[in-house]
Amino acid sequence: MSNHIVESTPATDSAEITNPAFDVARRWQLPPIERGKSSFDCAQLRKVLDGDQREVREKVMEIIAQFERFQGTNIEDYRAKVLQWTEQAAAKGIGRTFMLRSLGGEEDLPKFIAAFETFAYFDINLLVKLGVQFGLFAGSIQRLGTAPHHQKYLVNAVEAKLLGCFAMTEIGHGSNVQGIQTEAVYEPESDCFVINSPTYDSGKNYIGGAARDARLATVFAQLKVADKQYGVHAFLVPIRDEKGNACFGVTLQDNGLKMGLNGVDNGRIWFRSVRIPRTEMLDRFGRVSPGGEYNSPISSQNARFFAMIGTLVSGRISVAAAANCVAKSALTIAVRYAARRRQFGSPNREVLLLDYPAHQRRLIPFLANVYASHFAIAALVQENENDPNSKAVETSAAAIKIFSTQNCTFTIQECREACGGEGYIAANRFSALRADSEIFTTFEGDNTVLLQLVAKNLLSALKDKLQDMPPAGRAQFFLQQKLAEMLRKHPAYTFNLTYDHLVQTRYQLALIRIRETANLSRCARKLRSLLKSGKLEPFAAFVHLQLELMELARAHTSRLILERFASSLEKVGEPSLKRILKRLCDLYALHEIERNRGWFLENGLISAIKSRAVSHAVDRLCRDLRADVVHLVDAFGIPDGVLAAPIAV
């Protein structure tokens, strides 16, 4: 909505009309952003952040520079615009980045993720639409299907000529995917699968693309062959014809107005006896022969389910990366505003917001988190390349998705409040950033559920590890306990309150690791005793331990991110860059320790005076980083035209 101006211009005094004080059509006359001198070269830092993916990021920046941000409030217009952008992005080859080389793609997932996340700087609706079309729809065909599906659909899908959706979640079952109720029954007479939604609650829900654009859906359903259940599998089901009408037997419903993402057409889908040819089952992990015989490369139904679901891992990495870009936008806006806005103090020169300790403390730790998240995600993308589908990567992806999306939500909130009334004006972008990214903590795995996934994976990895070890090795494993003893008793640790000691990565890691191991062994012990006693079934035991498991997952995440951040630093050669990144890494680590100081104190791992010293070190780091903070957001490299918030450009 453009501003509606009611202006009374007296005809008597034309000289005064030109008084700039009343030229309200001008952009807000904010003073310049006070950048000062930085301790490092901003362009060099940007290079470090961009890593191998500078080129594709710039390509996406060029694409979005051509787009004009949607300003209206009409939802159908917004959806049409987002679709148009999607087609334009597809035409520029964004979808080809991850597609199989055999079909002319680049098969380069890291490149796709870098491209994807960059769209988050422009419009999260477009990001999500691209995520649905490329990551979920085309991605599911590529990963769950086999050559015939690839040949038949992939090229059109990545060119956005065939629009699709990913129909997994149901009204009654979101997090519990194994509990979905949509059925796919093999019918030998017709050599077809019959897709059915047996109940209202088994309707697919929140399906991006279902309300307006999607023609074909990857539908997850319980496979039944000759009255035998084979668990969840994926099927390609046409839902709309060329004219946009629902296909025979398909009922579509618009999810209506949402908190955000109103440019994405989420909807519900029900199926009534919809027949699809047998060959339209995505059959990489399980197939049915024309005679009605089921076979799968994975014999256990549970393992098969997790193999299929494992393909969600790259989606989680992508969401983590996108969320971090959203947080970068929010911080860029809030930090720059704080570097130009003055309030209180001498009437001639009031104090810059950024010079208030409270303002430093509210923004700078989030900046450290965003840098930490950035390097953790970059490492994760690489780990996923080296060892795709591994349990370890699944665990890390879940952990980092939780951290990045939650940090995104908190960052936007703090940034909005830090900009006061200006933060509430839609033109300054927090409104859309927040409303559109809000669902990140829920979709691609609800964070609460993912925390438990992380903890369970850690417990089962521990079990495997201990089983494979000779008894002597097991003792070795508990060496961490010795570390705890050292932290508790060694004078070099307990009595050392100096800043230089606190900023030793080795010390920070020791504390943060011990929190994880202590929680891990505690959970393992409690779980074993609950199960041994026979009082509780495994599910009930996990519910009983839910709070402890979540604490374990959080401790794991802290450690994971600090390790990745710290080891990324080691690869940075330029001393001034290394210094500034080390400070951010210290702030991330010490702020994590401060936030959890209750736990460290309770467990005698830090003393009362040391705990206070940690807080003072956090204060000091915020103060020390203040001079560089504008340059640190500049290094994200968001062009002014893309950032576009009037208070920040």
Contacts of its own copies in 120-159 (CB under 8 A): none
- Is residue 175 close enough to count as binding its own copies by CB under 8 A? yes
List 604, 639, 640, 641, residue binding its own copies (CB under 8 A)? 604
- Is residue 24 close enough to count as binding its own copies by CB under 8 A? yes
Least spacing, CB of residue 89 vs its own copies, in Å = 25
- Is residue 18 close enough to count as binding its own copies by CB under 8 A? no
Whether 648 and 634 have beta carbons less than 8 Å apart is answered as: no
**Nearest Cα residue to 107 out of 82, 129, 136, 139:** 139
Per-residue exposure over 534-557, b if at least 16 CB sit within 10 Å of its own CB, e if not: eeeeeeebbeebeeebbbbbbbbb
- Is residue 543 close enough to count as binding its own copies by CB under 8 A? yes
The residues, ordered by sequence, that sit 6+ positions from 533 with a Cβ below 8 Å of its Cβ are none
The rounded distance, in Å, linking the Cα atoms of 616 and 576 is: 24
Least spacing, CB of residue 483 vs its own copies, in Å = 19
Stretch that binds its own copies, among 56-64, 87-95, 439-447, 457-465 (CB under 8 A): 439-447
Stretch that binds its own copies, among 315-323, 330-338, 384-392, 604-612 (CB under 8 A): 604-612
Query: What is the contact mask toward its own copies in residues 355 to 394, using x (rule: CB under 8 A)?
Result: xxxx--xx--------------------------------
Interface positions, 442-471, toward its own copies (CB under 8 A):
442-443, 446-448
Per-residue exposure over 471-486, b if at least 16 CB sit within 10 Å of its own CB, e if not: eeeeeeeeebeebbee
Neighbour count for residue 625 (Cβ, 10 Å): 22
The DSSP secondary structure of 139-194, one letter per residue, reads HHHHHHS-HHHIIIIIHHHHTTSS-EEEE--BSS-SS-GGG---EEEEETTTTEEE
Q: What are phi and psi of 407, to 5 degrees?
A: -65, -35
Looking at the Cβ atoms of 240 and 583, the one nearer to its own copies is 240
List 43, 58, 65, 74, residue binding its own copies (CB under 8 A)? 74
Least spacing, CB of residue 488 vs its own copies, in Å = 12
List 344, 349, 482, 500, residue binding its own copies (CB under 8 A)? 344
Query: What is the contact mask toward its own copies in residues 264 to 303, using x (rule: CB under 8 A)?
Result: ----x-x-x-------------------------------
Interface positions, 389-428, toward its own copies (CB under 8 A):
409, 413, 416-417, 420-421, 423-427
The rounded distance, in Å, linking the Cα atoms of 140 and 196 is: 21
- Is residue 104 close enough to count as binding its own copies by CB under 8 A? no
Least spacing, CB of residue 428 vs its own copies, in Å = 9
221: β partners: 233
Least spacing, CB of residue 134 vs its own copies, in Å = 22
Neighbour count for residue 114 (Cβ, 10 Å): 25
Query: What is the contact mask toward its own copies in residues 547 to 586, using x (rule: CB under 8 A)?
Result: x--x------------------------------------
* Total interface residues for its own copies by CB under 8 A: 112
**β 266-271/250-254 pair status:** antiparallel
- Is residue 476 close enough to count as binding its own copies by CB under 8 A? no
Least spacing, CB of residue 606 vs its own copies, in Å = 10
Q: What are phi and psi of 160, to 5 degrees?
A: 60, 25
**β 216-225/183-187 pair status:** parallel
The rounded distance, in Å, linking the Cα atoms of 357 and 23 is: 36
List 52, 58, 62, 350, residue binding its own copies (CB under 8 A)? 350
Neighbour count for residue 155 (Cβ, 10 Å): 19
Least spacing, CB of residue 627 vs its own copies, in Å = 17
Length of the chain: 649
Looking at the Cβ atoms of 156 and 431, the one nearer to its own copies is 431
Tell me the Cα Rg of the chain.
27
The rounded distance, in Å, linking the Cα atoms of 11 and 5 is: 18
Least spacing, CB of residue 92 vs its own copies, in Å = 30
Least spacing, CB of residue 218 vs its own copies, in Å = 18
**CA-based torsion, 455, 459, 465, 470: positive or negative:** positive
Whether 618 and 591 have beta carbons less than 8 Å apart is answered as: yes
Least spacing, CB of residue 193 vs its own copies, in Å = 18
Looking at the Cβ atoms of 357 and 639, the one nearer to its own copies is 357
Looking at the Cβ atoms of 76 and 387, the one nearer to its own copies is 76
**Nearest Cα residue to 244 out of 212, 276, 292:** 212
The number of angstroms, rounded, from the C-alpha of 164 to the middle of its chain's C-alpha atoms is 22
The number of angstroms, rounded, from the C-alpha of 56 to the middle of its chain's C-alpha atoms is 20
List 148, 190, 248, 385, residue binding its own copies (CB under 8 A)? 248
List 15, 257, 472, 492, residue binding its own copies (CB under 8 A)? 257
- Is residue 14 close enough to count as binding its own copies by CB under 8 A? no
Looking at the Cβ atoms of 169 and 384, the one nearer to its own copies is 169
